[in-house]
Structure 1
Amino acid sequence: MAANSHSSLGEEASANKHEVALAVLVGLLVMLTISWYKRSNWSTGKGTPPLPPGPKGLPIVGYLPFLSPNLHHEFAKMANQYGPIFKLYLGSKLHIVVNSADLAKVVTGEQDESFANRDPHIAGLTASYGANDVAWQNNNANRRNLRKVLVHEVLSNKNFEASHAYRRSEVRNTIKYVHDMIGTAVDINEVSFSTVLNILTHIVWGKGFVEGAKYPDLAADIRKVVLAIVETAEGLNLSDFFPMLARFD
């Protein structure tokens, strides 16, 4: 009796496992079918919104497996095939690529209010303290105020004209420094960064960046911080393509 009982329990457990596996498989097939149906309707104009043409890609992962590191080359090829505006899915996220100067002018100029909101990736959110800057923040009152400050304090014609002599002097000093270093190794990235840092601080604060005895390597330290921020901000995580997998970032 005991042997028969254990045997029947084992068969029942095995049957339950098969039922669970079958249910999961059916669920995945249903999700893939719905996803394919929506994409198909959108691409043919039957759904909302109508989408431009683009490569099909694969279920779930989209066009991710086919992208090469040189995205600008990939997009140029796609533009030749699909036109100056096309779509592609990267994971579960839909992307619309604008690949012409005329369309870019429409998006960033004539229709700026419609396209101004951002969809920052996780690293961008981290580097900007939760999209609290001009680059990643949505188009709201705070971002508009930040843009006004940026334009008024840094990018205005008045500031550029006032700093013209200083900018020219800094560039000449940089050229002279590089010329005087003929025959020795020169880190052009570091030299150009220091030049730009001096110019920007002069425009914003009215004086160039001066390293004192207390912080003799401050420019190099700032460069390290900026490079670290850029490295963080350009990083990609799973949730950038599959939001449901954020826990694995």
Structure 2
Amino acid sequence: MSKSHTLKLISSSIRTCLLCLTLSFAHSGALAQQTVPDTIAQRAIACAACHGKEGRATNEGYFPRIAGKPAGYLYNQLVNFREGRRSYPAMTYMVAHLSDTYLKEMAEHFANLHPPYPPPQPANLPASTLERGKALVFSGDQSRNIPACIACHGEKLTGLLPSVPSLVGLPRDYLNAQFGAWKSGSRKAAAPDCMAQISKQLSVDEISAVSAWLAAQPVPENMAAAPAHSVKLPIPCGSVPQ
């Protein structure tokens, strides 16, 4: 191969490289000009990794549905993670440096979403166990000062504004895990911590019965939480304004 031919090949290669670099920079510039919308919906996409699209939950039973929950409840939980009353590394990391205003905005966003619910989970416990769970939900156990679930979470178990959540439409594993966390003290809320007080009095079998019965219930057509102050709570609860 002659020297002149070699130089031509080198020159051609250099021109090709320069053209590729030029196109690459042009493409990078075009990408840089594409702006991500600064909306709460865009920021909330990160939540979908665990809580599902629009906060509707996924098949992973330990992550709850957050869509449609009362904004006050969601805000309280975000603050609890930030302040260490609840412990889950991913949540703590995400909210550690977020302001109250930002957390309220996030809570309002998910409170206003209402995607469809999944079908209820089949209950695979004996009928007598499920009846015990149902009895605790509707009547509690007065001999141990355990109030009925409906006394705080509403007759339809759809929650109470502004900060008591619904109990229907949640996975059994999540319900069991939260009862267990309150019972062990790893989940806390503002004092007086009413759910910790109740959970510590329930046996493991009773917790399993309540969780299984709740998870097996179909959600009502109207999942709206009961109006604020429409229910007088049977025991003091620091997370619920009176």
TM-score with structure 2 length normalisation?
A: 0.31
Give the structure with higher Rg (CA).
1
Higher strand share: 1
Higher helix share: 1
Higher RCO (CA-CA < 8 Å; seq separation 6+)? 2
